[in-house]
Amino acid sequence: MFLFLTLKVMKNLTYLLLIIPILSLFSQGIGINTTLPMATLHVNGDIKFTPKASDATRLVGIISNGEVKEFELGNSFNITTGTLTVIPPIDSNIFLIGDVDQVLTAPTTSQYDNYDIGLANINIDKTIIRVFGETNGYSVSGFTDGYDGRIIYYYNSQNNNVTFFDLNIGSDAKNQIITGSGANEGTTGEGVAQFIYDGSLEKWILINIR
């Protein structure tokens, strides 16, 4: 009887001793190759993950402090110079404004062919493109990075005139503008021109100018 009780007590003590380190482990986090985990799971080294053979729905990346973050895949994202930028959902009733500074190009350029106004990078989520910094009147024969349905409001926010050329060969065919009148159109000083890109025609269509 005494032997049985002793074994039972020892068995209970064994359970107790096993429970204590397990609780400590979960309260501090799990560390692999580290004795001081700084998160629920802290891995000091490389991780290899084999996903299921299905469409990706999330992006997983490591931020500057070493933490792994998970992001839902949106309708669009952009990779610029090796950096992935996820574009957050935007209220469709809000038109964001992007800027284009012509200070550096104004002294040497009077006609902007295949004009890169940042539609594939810095102004990818912008609808109103505010242009400034010009010193004289200038012209535009086309814009780069159009895609079907893309709308822009070209806001010439300066006193210098801007002229939009109709089907001008200064720009590549896919970047050219159709003014609708068959003639060149523009603003006298400050004004706004609205364009939409037609993917079937591969042209920018001038909708309105004021």
User: Which pLDDT tens digit goes with each residue over 76-109?
Assistant: 666 666 676 666 666 778 899 999 999 999 999 9
Low-confidence ranges of the chain (pLDDT < 50): 1-11, 13-24
State how far Cα 198 lies from the chain centre: 23
Give pTM, 2 decimals. Answer: 0.60
Neighbours of 28 (CB within 10 A): 14
Angle 118-98-177 (CA atoms, 0-180°, nearest 5)?
A: 55
pLDDT of residue 208: 96
From the options 2.60.120, 3.30.70, 2.60.40, 3.40.1800, give the CATH code of 97-209: 2.60.120
User: How many secondary structure helices (H) and strands (E) does the chain include?
Assistant: 1, 16
Where in the sequence of the chain do the CATH 2.60.120 domains occur? Answer: 97-209
Q: In terms of DSSP H, where are the helices of the chain?
A: 2-28
CB burial string 127-154: b at 16+ within 10 A, e below? bbbbbeebeeebbbbbbbbbeeebebbb
pLDDT at 132: 96
pLDDT computed for residue 65 by the predictor: 75
